Structure 1
Amino acid sequence: MTVTETDAAVLGGGLAGSLIAKSLAEKGWRTLLVDRNRFPRHKVCGEFLSPEVRQMLDAAGLTDRVSALRPAAVERVRLISAEGGRVDIPLPGIAMGLSRFRLDEALHEAAAEAGARVRTSSAVLSVERLSDESCEVRVRRGSGIEIIRARTVIAAWGANGQAAVTGFSGPATPGNPANPAPSALVDRGRSTLYPWSRSAPDYMGVKSHYTGIEMEPVVELYLFPGGYLGLCPVEDGLVNASALLSRDAFRGAGKSVSALLEAAAQRCPPLHSKLKRGLPVPGAQAAVAPVKLNRRPNPWDMVPRLGDSSVMIPPLCGDGMSMALRSARLCAPLADGYLRGELSLAGWEEQYVRAVKRTFGGPLRWGRLLQSSLGSPAVVRMLLRLAQLSPGVASGLLKATRLKPEGEN
């Protein structure tokens, strides 16, 4: 067993974890970034970087690094129903399509160059807060155990990453009343700020890259009974197909990613016609389950939580990566103030929880409203018709699900 001491231990090497590790290392803090997986890796993600991400990349000094990965340009969103109805909605700026296979590795390199130590293939077993000034993390690395003693721990392990970690009360969900969400965000389930439902279905996410599919600078969202699938152009002429599917609706569709994507395409003739033109890229498939969209926001559970471990917007909004990066941007200066002794742990929690509420409340509310509405084919037809007749309404709904530029909240 080895013992490592550090100022900040960041648990989870996705976008939020990598960005805050880079930020803290640049401030001179000893920073350790830990993730249980090997990288680079494919993961379920829409791989769509919305226009507001550009401002954050600039502020973080990452614009040139990301541009070097040759992301695809995206100018519009196209909604397509199973019946063939469609509508195009212009984006308020140029978005980007970029695979997580490339992006995650690039952010790890940026964090390491800033001075952070990056450890992958390292599974977090437990987190214990010893005092307001110290935490202890147990990590399995290969056949050995490492003890990390950190002045602070930041959780960025995604929506399901906490499941195997002891020391936490569990995710804040309607089915887990022992761990209610912070009172600053919801009032024991009665608030309409973040609507949720006990009967909300469980979903699964699947993705695959394709070659041979011609795409305009458009992200296409196909809506069909039981779920939806987005096609987004990414680097090197590839197309990312990512779907959110109801586990009940697709229970008999098979267990492989290819079988599930084929079952989805069978429910949506325009999607079937599109996918049959391409070929799946071997090894570029991924799946995740369960995906629980009724999970209450939980930005603090003993330690600050970033990205999907804190809040998760429905994937159809296409703003998940933007929200992950923004959560790191919100938390980093507070973490720096805490480590400098200028901010107490309680003060950090209060300010971060308030910032999450202020920044993500509107997009989450509208995103969950759209998610619940699009489960009905009749509602889909009505919304597409409304968008065709009143393009301003469609653009307004799109804007409602997006983050405001930094400084405008």
Structure 2
Amino acid sequence: MPPIDAIRAFHDELTAIRRDFHANPELGLEEHRTAEIVAKQLEAWGIEVHRGVGVTGVVGVLRKGSGKTAIGLRADMDCLPMDEQTNLPYRSQSPGRMHACGHDGHTTMLLGAARYLATSGDFDGTVNFIFQPGEEGIGGALAMLKDGLFERFPCDAIFAMHNRPGMEVGEFAIAPGPSAAGGAFFDIAITGRGAHGARPEASIDPLLVACHITTALQSIVARNVPPADTAVLSVTRIVGGDAYNVIPQSATISGTARTFRKETMELIETGMKRIAKGVAEGFGATAEVDFRVIFAPLINDPAQTDAIADAAAALVGEDKVDRAKPPGMGSEDFSFMMEQVPGAYIQLGNGDSAQLHNPAYNFNDEATPYGAALLASLVERKLARASGG
């Protein structure tokens, strides 16, 4: 029986699991309930389970035959710190927490693949099911790597997927090379001199300095980054002051930078520190920059890209697989794992849903069999028994 047919036979059970995850979302590195449900499901299917990998991460290990090749399949588990605005019967029961990126669906699809491979899968080798915490800028991938992920669970190739609103259910998209941008968060702390709002001459106004720095920062992409590169620098927050008649002592500028090359990210950091210091000193203030790289650029390995795209084409037909997906400026910390092991990251359609990180978003349960079957069939293709070619 093809994997997708076998998985559809327990689709209702997977849907119930996914909706339970959705109703009980957990923030990054706090996914204790989610992780325990994952671990118990894996154990019920006879899969070797390792808890607490990278704080709340879970790794399931499934071996069949005598093959030496190992494949890693990864899903993220955390939610976002935002309120849900839906009327779903399984909407979030935790104020300020919501699965608005579909990680509840990603976790469920990997569970579906694990169940199929444990009970029906025909392969020769090892599969490591990697359930990662803290993807949303919390450092979950790095936590797992620091905990010896690939030393403890060696992989010859790794794969992951993400749902994509606006793309039809049953369709996939991928391309070799850059897929998602590297991302950094930054805070610029400006210190001036506070004064009464009626006596600005006695102040060194940090808000005025912040506005000039914000404007000047736009010159980095416009005048420092080569036109052939792609970069985004966005100031998303300026904070300072508490009263109408008080010029504050300090202000903070915060935001994000995105690029596809480490060298470009380093250029942005250098330029930001130069501009912030120079502009602030020109006004008699000081500025300190805290620039933190949160995501590496995600680069799909060509051979592994072909492997998962071929598996998708075998599942749904070549006409439903876009092999030339343009890279996006969003970021994904699976990139840190792919810096150590060659891999590929594919998009699957979520249908006509709200966009990611939107309070009205919901993962489409109809996509679950497609994602689970792709991961399962990829393993069977890459770890095919010798007798089967």
Task: Tell whether the structures are fold-level matches, with TM greater than 0.5.
Answer: no
Of structures 1 and 2, the one scoring higher in RCO (CA 8 A, sep 6+) is 2
Q: Tell me the TM-score normalised to structure 1 length.
A: 0.30
CA radius of gyration, larger in: 2
